[in-house]
Amino acid sequence: MSDLTNLPIAAMRDGLNRKDFSAKELAEAHIRAVEGARTLNAFTVETPERALAAADAADKDFAAGTAKPLSGIPLGIKDLFCTEGVETSASSNILKGFVPQYESTISARLFADGAGMLGKLNLDEFAMGSSTETSACGDTINPWRAADGRNLVPGGSSGGSSTAVAARLVAGATGTDTGGSIRQPAAFTGITGFKPTYGRCSRWGTVAFASSLDQAGPMARDVRDCAILLQSMAGFDAKDSTSLELPVPDFEAALTGDLLGKRVGIPREYAIDNIPADITALWEAGRAMLRDAGAEIVDISLPHTKYALPTYYIIAPAEASSNLARYDGVRYGQRETPDGGNLIDMYEATRSAGFGDEVKRRIMIGTYVLSAGYYDAYYLQAQKVRTLIKRDFEQAFRECDVILTPTAPSAAFPLAEKMDDPVSMYLNDVFCVPASLAGLPAMSVPVGLNADGLPLGLQLIGDALDEEGLFNAGYALERAAGFSAQPEKWW
């Protein structure tokens, strides 16, 4: 990898401002990196022409002194964000060939701030998965390899994003997080991923998975880069009824690294069985790092933690079963019509051919838990437990300012290892899902390597709307951890 692609966004911004290099040079370096990394299958669509066009515009702006916050920064966009004129398939066969006639609010904001797009990034089909193996566009490979040389998953669903950032193919990427889809892949690839408070980032133009949980967020090299990207992504959008009509704080300004007077909560219920020792050790090391940064460590309790995952696996599929009803072969996407088939035959054939197994499974579960006679026992009960989970956090944040947990219960695992056992795959998100259900901001920071040399991350959860406090805690953790490992280039 070249020196240019190895720079964090903050350094790219400085270099461009100083005219150490041009946006065009920066774009070209990344385009070469993308072309050289096709083995990783991080992209569903490459758009070098868009990156170059943005670079040209950026160079003009730098010359004219009218540069914008992200002028010349080449990004990857998760293929869940609709991009005008560029195929958006959500890594599903059912949307193959779909070319949106509109730009998602998130990508539009990034482009308006001068960023370029290197391409669309692979994901689990409709963001349903934790390994990017449910993608209809093939598996994405983690740039980190197991000691025995086996290929590993990059996490998911934002696995194309995590891989592209970790392999230095893009300066940063967008992700979406419904139950850990930014944080878990970030942890699996040694990068930083940030999920803001529900409602900070507009959902308009982003293919929906589970509306009450979906949140966009940045994935990047480090905490500062995430702050820079979120600054552009976040903000009120009148087109999304759940968008928060609040001013966006200056996230980068919050990065002092000083945690004096802050209390870091350690939820005892997160100490679950069967967690590898190196993760438990990392979590303990994290406490010490934050204590060194001035924080007080306090024990807290989140009593309903163990119910979070089953709650999530009722609510998310229920919403998904309804959100995905629009993929019916009538207005866009693929259509299958059996010979002599009627409208219902067309629906059934289209959806059977278009959706992969995991998506079908979740649509089936979601349909079942909403159906007559089962709604109260499953969906309604889950929404009530969700209230209890939210209350747990409200209680906890009376005793602490930020919560520290592991991000995932393991490091990246080999491809195909968990594909036959949905429930064991779901357990990947056991630490991420509670914050999702409560709508809270949360991030994963890379903190160390395990015995096999694979990256591990810790999760920080902030109180609602306290992205500044969360960013600063992440920054303190990042400085203390000094994580600088990178995957060795083998692709």
Catalytic residues: 78, 157, 181
Within 8 A by CB and 6+ apart from 402, the residues are 262, 263, 264, 265, 460, 461, 462, 463, 466, 469, 470, 473
The least CB distance from residue 270 to other proteins, in Å, is 18
Residues of span 242-261 touching other proteins by CB under 8 A: 242, 244-245
Structure tokens at 435: 């914050």
CB-wise, 144 or 378, nearer to other proteins? Answer: 378
Pick the stretch among 24-32, 117-125, 134-142, 330-338 that binds other proteins (CB under 8 A): 330-338
Does 435 bind other proteins (CB under 8 A)? Our answer is: no
Nearest to 243 by CA among 251, 233, 229: 233
Residues 6+ away with beta carbon under 8 Å from 231: 69, 248, 250, 251, 252
Cα–Cα distance measured from residue 200 to residue 202, given in angstroms and rounded to the nearest whole number: 7
For residue 233, the minimal CB distance to other proteins (Å) is: 15
Annotate each residue in 8-47 with x if it binds other proteins (CB under 8 A) or - if it does not, as one string: ----------------------------------------
Q: How far is 24 from 315, CA to CA, in rounded Å? A: 45
Q: Which of 326, 394, 395, 485 binds other proteins (CB under 8 A)?
A: 326
Q: Please enumerate in sequence order all residues whose Cβ is within 8 A of that of 373, keeping only pairs 6 or more positions apart, or say none.
A: none
Binding other proteins by CB under 8 A: which of 156, 333, 434, 474?
333
233 binds other proteins per the rule CB under 8 A: no
* 448 DSSP β-pair partners: 456
Quote the least distance from Cβ 387 to other proteins, whole Å.
Answer: 5
**Contact predicate 219/178, CB 8 Å:** no
Q: Mask 299-318, x = binds other proteins (CB under 8 A)? A: -----x-xx--xx-xx---x
Q: Which of 22, 47, 71, 104 lies at the binding interface for other proteins (CB under 8 A)?
A: 104
241 lines the binding site for other proteins (CB under 8 A): yes
Least separation in angstroms between residue 112's CB and other proteins is: 18
**Residues of this chain, 174-203, that bind other proteins according to CB under 8 A:** 197-199, 203
CB of 194 to other proteins, least distance (A): 16
CB 102 within 8 A of CB 62: no
Kindly indicate which of the ranges 47-55, 57-65, 99-107, 444-452 contains the residues binding other proteins, using the contact rule CB under 8 A. Answer: 99-107
* 66 contacts other proteins (rule: CB under 8 A): no
Residue 279: Cβ-neighbour burial (10 angstroms; 0-12, 13-18, 19+): buried
Considering only CA atoms, which of 82, 80, 67 is closest in space to residue 19?
67
CB-nearer residue toward other proteins: 231 or 436: 436
Is 403 among the residues that bind other proteins (CB under 8 A)? no
- The minimum distance between CB 328 and other proteins, in angstroms, equals 6
d(C-alpha 432, C-alpha 412), whole Å: 15
User: What's the distance, Cα to Cα, between the start and end of the chain in Å?
Assistant: 11
Counting contacts by CB under 8 A, is residue 438 touching other proteins? Answer: yes
Cα–Cα distance measured from residue 473 to residue 259, given in angstroms and rounded to the nearest whole number: 7
Minimum Å gap between C-beta 211 and other proteins is 4
Listed ranges 5-13, 284-292, 351-359, 402-410: which one lies at the site for other proteins (CB under 8 A): 351-359
Token digits of residue 337:
């019509």
Contacting residue, 146, 346, 419, 449, with other proteins by CB under 8 A: 346
Q: In whole angstroms, give the CA distance from residue 23 to residue 54.
A: 8
**Interface residue with other proteins, options 101, 247, 484, 488 (CB under 8 A):** 101
Give the whole-angstrom CA distance, residue 451 versus residue 14: 36
Binding to other proteins (CB under 8 A) within 200-229 occurs at 203-208, 210-212
Between 178 and 192, whose beta carbon lies closer to other proteins?
178
Find the binder of other proteins among 52, 90, 266, 443 (CB under 8 A): 90
For 137, phi then psi, to 5°, come to -105, 15
Closest CB 99 distance from other proteins, rounded Å: 6
Site string for other proteins, 355-384 (x = CB under 8 A): x----xx-xxx-xx-xxx-xx-xxxxxxxx
Binding of other proteins by 409 (CB under 8 A): no
> Interacting stretch for other proteins, rule CB under 8 A, among 137-145, 161-169, 287-295, 350-358?
350-358
The closest of 188, 157, 160 to 449, measured between CA atoms, is: 188
Cβ proximity to other proteins: between 147 and 344 the closer is 344
Number of H helices, E strands in the chain: 15, 11
Report how far residue 91's alpha carbon sits from residue 104's, in angstroms, rounded to the nearest whole number.
Answer: 17
Tell me if 281 contacts other proteins by CB under 8 A: no
Residue 274, by phi and psi: left (phi above 0), alpha (psi -120 to 50) or beta? left
